[in-house]
Amino acid sequence: MKELESSVIVAAHPDDENLWFSSILSKVDQVVICFLPVPSNSTWTEGRRKSLASYPLGNVSCLELVESEVFWGVDWSRAVETEYGLKITDTRLSDKAYIQNFDILQQQLRTQLQGYRNVFTHNPWGEYGHVEHVQVYRAVKALQREMKFSLWFPNYASNKSAGLMADTLAGRELQSVTLETDKALAERIADVYKVNDCWTWYKDYAWCDSETFIGDCDEPAEGRGYGRVVTINFISIEPQPVELSRFAKLVARVRRRARL
């Protein structure tokens, strides 16, 4: 398929490539992982190195950027987008490393992405809501305008990131391709991370049957942009279901956008 010709995955952390891109993981030419060391967690740092050293695929490399550790720094009910990702609003956390990482990502990825026609990376809302996923998307998106490759992102979202997802997709021209996930490969790779004590997701996570990749295009939707049909793999990241009031607010938000 043409979307996989001369293709590369850019994933933020070790295990992200497995969670959000399993359908294409063994089909792309290269997988680039951005972050590795976690200053506050030596177990994850060492486990990630061991996992990548024994990785079952031979197309994976890592830039080994240091995580900025600002995961809890955003109020997702009112997330503010910036050139470098999302605004860190928790004053107890420093955004210095986070901002610096954006420049480092652009510099290193500019070399890594030379010659590729299709780049797959995180979506603008960070899948379930991760600020470094959003940052990686921003860095790749900035390079797309410069390097002219086709950019694709996955259809995962959560109750945490749904508001930013709605704002992102409203009124945009969407193209997409849907593929079956490779559950056997995904579980095999997950076991490698688990053995090395650096699996960061749910231990009993079950992969969706399929995942959709959305083409990132700057062109606005034709006409008034009433929307397009696109599937979403929706994940609950809280033990309780999404509150009805929160869902109602989201629906109202989308309707307001549609009337603009």
CA distance 134 to 167: 14
**What pLDDT is recorded for position 249?**
52
**What pLDDT is recorded for position 230?**
83
Q: Tokens 């790749």 identify what position? A: 140
Using the 8-state DSSP alphabet, how is residue 113 labeled?
Answer: T
**Alpha helix stretches (DSSP H) within 10-130:** 16-20, 42-53, 96-112
44, amino acid identity: W
**What pLDDT is recorded for position 241?**
37
Using alpha carbons, select from 30, 19, 23 the residue that is nearest to residue 117: 30
**What pLDDT is recorded for position 232?**
96
Contacts of 43 (CB under 8 A, 6+ apart): 197, 198
List the domain boundaries for the chain: 2-259
Residue 249's CB: how many other CB atoms inside 10 A?
14
Per-residue pLDDT tens, the chain, 260 aa: give them.
899 999 999 999 999 999 999 999 999 999 999 999 999 999 999 999 999 999 999 999 999 999 999 999 999 999 999 999 999 999 999 999 999 999 999 999 999 999 999 999 999 999 999 999 999 999 999 999 999 999 999 999 999 999 999 999 887 778 899 999 999 999 999 999 999 999 999 999 999 999 999 999 766 556 555 666 789 999 998 744 334 344 445 545 554 554 44
24: three-class secondary structure by DSSP: coil
CATH of domain 2-259: 3.40.50
**What pLDDT is recorded for position 229?**
76
**What pLDDT is recorded for position 221?**
55
CA distance 109 to 125: 20
